[in-house]
Every structure is written in structure tokens, then in C-alpha cells.
Structure 1
Amino acid sequence: MFSSLPFMYMFFSVMGVGTLFSISSLHWLGIWAGLEINLIGFLPILVYQKSMSESESAVKYFVVQALGSSLLIFGSLNLYSLSFTWETLVSSNIGPSVSLFILIMGLFVKLGLFPFHFWLPSVMAGLPWLSCLLLATWQKLAPLCLTMSLFQFEFSYALLLVFCVLSAGSSFVGGIGGVNQTQVRALLAYSSIGHLGWIMFGLIHSEWVMKSYFMIYVFISFCLFMSLWYSNSGTMKNLGSLKESGLDQMSVMFMLLSLGGLPPLLGFISKWLVMVISINSHLWSFVFILILGSLMSLFYYLGLFFSLFLSNLKKSNNIKLSLYNSNFVLMLLLLLNLFGGLLILMMNVLEIL
């Protein structure tokens, strides 16, 4: 899954430099070049093990990212023909246009936001855990930051309404898409689509809320993917028979519940921030669709949680053994997800009082 050979560090460096170059660039041509450098560094990581599923996922990812890059460069070229400059500050301030919409659509294709979400579950289903973690977290950083830079300018109410519809659709698709999933990777892909809807809806109202949500999502995803990597659980059936049932199994399940946003876990705090910031907005009605998508995600998370909990009651001896043999890192990640959300919630309540 991960090699300590020097070329792997080189690919990681190229991927990171491409993202940072894209974020720090002031021209659309530099942004496009940074995204392409990031893609060049990420593709060899996907196909390192040379398995059939990884090669298929890498080809799908390359085709979709090429489509997003084509829309991005096409929209930026059209903006250049209108503003005669590559600078983002000037070309994005010319008002609503078809070119700007095409450019934003290219960013949404790279993110996997509804209705361009079709590629993400099939790509993540064939990747190892480390590649899934990078795809769900780091690869979303540059398109999100570029979308955030576009929101510095005044959009029309119709365009904001379109963004709200896409955000609500992402949350709804992320909730309903994971109901019949048996693969954990595909389930987490639909969960990522649902969280993208919340992130985009938070970005419409506040950049600080979007950054806070994304940081919490990255932290929970890191805890969950590391736990699944340690337990080597690729399907729902494997979750019921982990290497060490008991605390290791419960840690994975509590992290899934935290990712779903069950109060008072850490994942609930980010959703609570989005709901609070949107109360005084005229677009607050879309919050109900976002909550509905999260409830559908919690439905299959809780069903899986209770089935595993009842199966563990029949293995009381194994549970006692696992409490002593449990990995310390998993226990620490579990405690952070359990009490992190409660601690932040108490700090906010004390600040209000």
C-alpha cells in the first residue's frame, strides 16, 4: 500500500507542490498548471500495486480529471477573451457569465459535487486505504480553495440558488446512495459527497465555517481511514470480524457515527456551525434537505452499529481480551472523536453565556 522507496516520496512531493502552486497562483493559467502537476503526482500513487481494480480506478480518475481540467481551461480562456487578462481578481469580477459558470463547473467536476458525483464511488471502491484518504481529503483542497476565491465576489441570487440546489442535492445523494452499499470504500465515497454538500453550503454563508468544517472532516477521515487500514476491513461483513473485536470494532463504528454527525460527537459540531450560520439567511430552507441527507447516512450507520454491538454481546470473552490487547492509537482516536465534539460544544456554550 505504501512504499518507503524514494520515488514514492517524490510523487508525494509533486502532488503537494502542484496543490500549493495552484492555490498560490494569481492567474488561471497557473491554477490549471498546478492542478495538472498535482494529477501527475497522484496517478503513480494510484497504480503502484498494479492490480486490476487500481488500474481501472486510475483510468476513471484520469478521464474525469481531464474533463474537469478541460472545462477549467475553456472557461478561463473565455474569461480572458472578455477581460483580456489571466488574473483571477479581474476576470472573476466581470459579472455573471457563461464562461464563469463553465469554470465553476470544471471545479465541481474535480470535487465530485452533485451532479458530477458519478465517478467518485467507483473510483474509491478500487483503491487502497491510503489512496482513498488522499482522494477524500488532500485532492479536494485545491478545488475548494479556488471555489472559495470565487465567492469573494458578488454573485447573483439565481447563481447562489443554483449553488444551494447543488449543495442540497449532494447531501441527499450522499445519504441515499450509501443505503444499499456493502463496500466500506463506496460507503465513505457517498459520505464524502454528502459532506461536500455541507461544505459548499457553509461556503455560501461564511468562509470561516467552510474552513472549520473541512478541517474537522479531514481529521475524522484521517482517524477513520487509519483505523480501517489497521483493521484491514474492506466490506461490511469484515467489520463484524475484525482482528481484535471489541474496542477496535467499536472505535471504527464510533468514528463512522462521528462522520455521520451524531451528537455530541465531533462530526456534529461542523454541521451545527453550518446550521447556526444559516439561520438568519434567506436560504435557510435548504438546511432541511441537508439534514435529511445526514439522517439517511445516520440510518445505515446506526443499523450497522447496533448489529455489530449485538454480535459483540455474544463474544464477551473476546471483548475482554480485546480491551487489554487494543492498539493505543485506535483508543486515542476514539477518545478524540468521543469527547472532542462535546468539549467544543461546551466551550461554545460557555462563550455564549
Structure 2
Amino acid sequence: MFFLMNSNKLFFLFILFFSTLISISANSWFGCWIGLEINLLSFIPLISNSKNLMSSEASLKYFLVQSIASINFLFFILFKMILFKNFELNNFISIIINSTLLMKMGSAPFHFWFPNMIEGLSWFNCFILMTWQKISPMILLSYYFNKNFLIIIMIMNSIIGAIGGLNQTSLRKLMAFSSINNLGWMLSTFFISENLWILYLSLYSFLISIMCFLFFMLNMYFINQLFIINLNSMIKISLLINFLSLGGLPPFIGFFPKWIVINFLILNKIFILTFIFIFMSLIMLFYYIRIIYSSFMFNYIKLKWFKIFIKNKLFNYINFFNMISILGMIFSTFFFY
């Protein structure tokens, strides 16, 4: 967590949070656009690191994609203001504006930059990109969305997020495809309620923060590191709990928001979408379990000089998070009924 001691990066982090609030609370589309631009320009200094070539490449990719999306967004909101009365054009413009916002948050089918870019980031920046950076485009999307178009996008997110992660060896890319899949679930909460969207995003952010914290602490970036490193049994168990919770397995807290979404989708008779969501969640659980199973069962050589030393304070945090993951579902069940 080197950047926390760096006043420059702390300043840009503050602007990053502040710009999202500007974008959300603006009373015009132009104000929203300004908020998004400030957000873009404050995130680039956070990810660009002169020592690492991958991070400077990632910052350039991020800048190009976001600026293209911003230009389109600005052009079409101005276009909408001029041709507001024409209903047919209005429908087309709503799809284009939705597309630019989906491109900003790394949603399918505009997702190709997202896994490639995330490969060059540190775990903390990955966490910001997968959680905080999605807030302002999603809230702007909820103001003005095309329902039929959004249903197609939700199905694409769910399928691409599940299938894209099957052949990945990089943990960061795996988390990126997991984020794309969960984005499909999050978009479906627009049809239900804003409170459910906040609940889903906060619980998802909590789970992603645990995963990123674990991988940052163990300095892991690829799946084979889970097999090679002489892992502590408690770390293995915490990886198991948090991976299964992220996949949405019932006893864990990650299942709770998915359960509510499924419940509402079935009540509103949207059966095909529900089926696709559940089926794709099973595929995601398959590759999560494959990683955990391999790291649990591989009888690797225990290298005596290759041990992990973890500070006691950090380990206590992980145990606390694990308790929330396990018991959270039980508490949430009481609240739900």
C-alpha cells in the first residue's frame, strides 16, 4: 500500500471519489460528462507507474477507451438536445448513450479493453477499477436506459463473463471476467429497485476487496502460484470460503444478493434471463472450484526456504472477513424474512 504514503496519489484518489459525486449529483447531462472526465483524469496518475511498463501501457489503453466513450457521450447528448421531439431518433440515441456508458464501465460487448488493461495494474487499482469506477456510469445508465437493449447486454455480460474466465491463468484476468459476469446481475437490479443495486454493489465490493487483499498480501498474480507456494492451511480455507462466496454458493454472503435478484426476476416472470444467470453462475463456480481443488490437492514439494510470513494483524483481518462471509448469509436470512 505504498501510495497511501504518497501525498500526490492520495490527492488524486480524493479527486477520484469527488468526481464520482459530481457526476451523480449533476442536474444536467453536461455536468455528468464533466464528472466523468475528471474521474478519468484522476485515475490515470494512480495507475501510471514509470517503473512498470505494463502499467504505463494500461494507463494509455484506459485513456484511449474512456476518451472515445466520452466524445461519443458528449456528441449524442448534444444531438439529443437538438432532436428531442423525434421519437424514433430518440430511441436510437438512448441505445447509443447506453452503449457509451457501458463502454466506460467495461461491459460486454465493449469489454475487450478491460481484461487486457487490468493485467498491468496493482491489486489496489484492480479493486478501484472493478468497484468504484463502475458507480457513476451505472447511475447515469439508470437515469436513461433502453429496457430491451439492456436485457440483451445483461445476457451477453453473463455469458461472456462465465466463458471468458474458463481458459485464464492470470488471477487478475479471472477477476475481470468475474466482474463482467456480476455486472450482468447488477444491471438487472435496475428493473427492481435502486436499494437492491446499492446492496448488490456493496456486497460485491466487499467480496472483491477481500480477494484483492488476499492476493496482494500473498503477492499472487497467476494461478500456478497457488500450487507452488507453501500455503498456510488457514489461507487455503480463506481462499476456499471467499472464492465460493464470490461464485454465489448458498451458505455464504455472496449468494444473498443473487437470491433476491432471482426471486424478483421469477416474480416478474422473466424466466429465460433467470435461467441464463443461474447456468452461467454454475460455470463460474466450476472454474473457481477447479482452482481451489488444485491448490488443496496438489502434493507439491514443500520448499523449506520458500515460506510466507504474514503479519498477525493482517491475518486477523482475514479471519474476521471469513466470519462475515460465512455468518453473513445466516444474518441476512433473518432480515429477509
TM-score of the aligned structures, taking structure 2 as reference length: 0.91
Q: 2:141 aligns with which of 143, 147, 155?
A: 147
Evaluate the alpha carbon distance shift between residue 82 and residue 178 of structure 1 in structure 2; reply closer, same or farther with a 3 A threshold.
same
1:66 equivalent in structure 2? 67
1:2 equivalent in structure 2? 2
1:27 equivalent in structure 2? 28
* Partner SS state of residue 142, structure 1: helix
Amino acid at match of 2:130: A
Task: Detail structure 1 runs of 4+ shifted over 3 Å in the superposition.
Answer: 93-96, 241-244, 311-315, 321-326
1:102 equivalent in structure 2? 96
Q: Distance in 2 between matches of 1:143 and 1:126?
A: 23
2:328 maps to 1:340: yes
Q: Distance in 2 between matches of 1:46 and 1:163?
A: 30
Q: Deviations over 1:229-288 (max 9, x none)?
A: 111111001123446421113212321211111111111111101101111224332111
Evaluate the alpha carbon distance shift between residue 130 and residue 9 of structure 1 in structure 2; reply closer, same or farther with a 3 A threshold.
same
Q: Distance in 1 between matches of 2:14 and 2:49?
A: 16
Q: 1:179 aligns with which of 153, 166, 171?
A: 166
1:327 equivalent in structure 2? 315
Q: Deviations over 1:5-29 (max 9, x none)?
A: 2111111111112111111101111
2:233 equivalent in structure 1? 246
Q: Distance in 2 between matches of 1:115 and 1:298?
A: 22
1:234 equivalent in structure 2? 221
Identical amino acids, percent of aligned pairs: 32
2:132 maps to 1:138: yes
Aligned-CA RMSD value: 2.6
Q: Distance in 1 between matches of 2:60 and 2:126?
A: 15
TM-score of the aligned structures, taking structure 1 as reference length: 0.87
2:288 maps to 1:301: yes
Give the drift of 1:313: 10
Contact 2:47 2:56 in 1 (8 A): yes
Q: Distance in 1 between matches of 2:295 and 2:25?
A: 46
Unpaired segments ≥5 residues, structure 1: 85-90, 152-158
Contact 1:19 1:141 in 2 (8 A): yes
* Partner SS state of residue 250, structure 2: coil
Question: How many residues are paired up?
Answer: 331
Evaluate the alpha carbon distance shift between residue 58 and residue 313 of structure 1 in structure 2; reply closer, same or farther with a 3 A threshold.
closer
Give the drift of 1:102: 1.3
Q: Distance in 1 between matches of 2:19 and 2:144?
A: 20
Q: Deviations over 1:133-172 (max 9, x none)?
A: 1000110010111112225xxxxxxx42221121011011
1:154 equivalent in structure 2? none
Unpaired segments ≥5 residues, structure 2: none
Give the drift of 1:323: 11
Matches within 5 A, 1:168-317: 168-242=155-229, 244-311=231-298
* Partner SS state of residue 115, structure 1: coil
Q: Deviations over 1:46-105 (max 9, x none)?
A: 013531111111111111111111121111111111349xxxxxx9x9994222221111
Q: Distance in 2 between matches of 1:146 and 1:132?
A: 22
1:54 equivalent in structure 2? 55
Q: Distance in 1 between matches of 2:239 and 2:106?
A: 25
Q: Distance in 1 between matches of 2:230 and 2:118?
A: 23
Amino acid at match of 2:67: A
1:115 equivalent in structure 2? 109
